[in-house]
Amino acid sequence: MLLIPAIDLKGGRCVRLSQGEFTRVETYSEDPLRYARRWLEEGAERLHVVDLDGARLGVPQTRNLEVVRQIIRRTGLPVQMGGGVRSLEIAERMLRIGADRVILGTAVAREEATARDLFARLGDRAIVGIDARDGRVAVSGWQEQLEAPAVEFALRMVALGARRIAFTDIARDGMLAGANLPPLRALLDAVSVPVIASGGVTTLDDVRALSAMEPPAPEAAIVGKALYAGALRLADAIAVARGGTP
């Protein structure tokens, strides 16, 4: 299993939210590139970067895009990027600055024709971000909740052409509360595409539990708050995810 460190951007700074609440923000650095280089040194093979301002406002913010451009140029790491990707034009803009994949959420949730078109045009470079609160999908920077259950929504996205899913348990995100395996298990059993797990990964035991899941298992897990809070060392987590010891 691949471990992917997360870098969340707000106003050009590296921050973390708790349960997606913009009023509960912690700033870890004015220079996100410093963390990107640190994760590279500790063995990261990919980064998960979210423009939080873009997610909330519905359009990526220039300042955050420039930060991402610099991260890609100076680390060489593949970056999967989300936050405000509401159209093909925006997705292509992210790809032009060097993003390897783009994360689609609100845009594909709103209209099936748009979802089908985006999946067809972007192919493997698109990831559907399915963020769930109490089993229901949340969109618009987690500020709006849909009636659709997460598994039902995931099956609809796959039927429309989605090739990869990133699944986040919002209740666990940024709370250092451990991964919530049952809803992840339900999603893995339902869909036929690779799934990236996110939300609550806090300890090496969480990493072991995720990497030891019976097939179909998550292809990767995103780790955020635990790294910044010092609860988890990336190099150790990567070793465990690969079946080794820290």
Catalytic position from the list 8, 51, 53, 173: 8
d(CA 234, CA 241): 10
Identify whether 100 is a catalytic site residue: no
d(CA 236, CA 43): 10
Task: Please report, for residues 79, 91, 128, 164, 222, the alpha-carbon distance to residue 125 in angstroms, rounded to integers and kept in the order given.
Answer: 11, 10, 10, 9, 17
d(CA 147, CA 135): 10
DSSP assignment of 80-95 equals EEESS--SHHHHHHHH
Sign of CA dihedral 165, 170, 176, 180: negative
Identify whether 8 is a catalytic site residue: yes
SS3 53: helix
Token pair of 153 as six digits: 């929504």
Token pair of 68 as six digits: 């991402």
Catalytic position from the list 131, 169, 173, 206: 131
SS3 57: helix
Residue that the structure tokens 């990497």 belong to: 211
Give the other-Cβ count within 10 Å of 134's Cβ.
Answer: 12
Q: Which residues are annotated as catalytic?
A: 8, 131
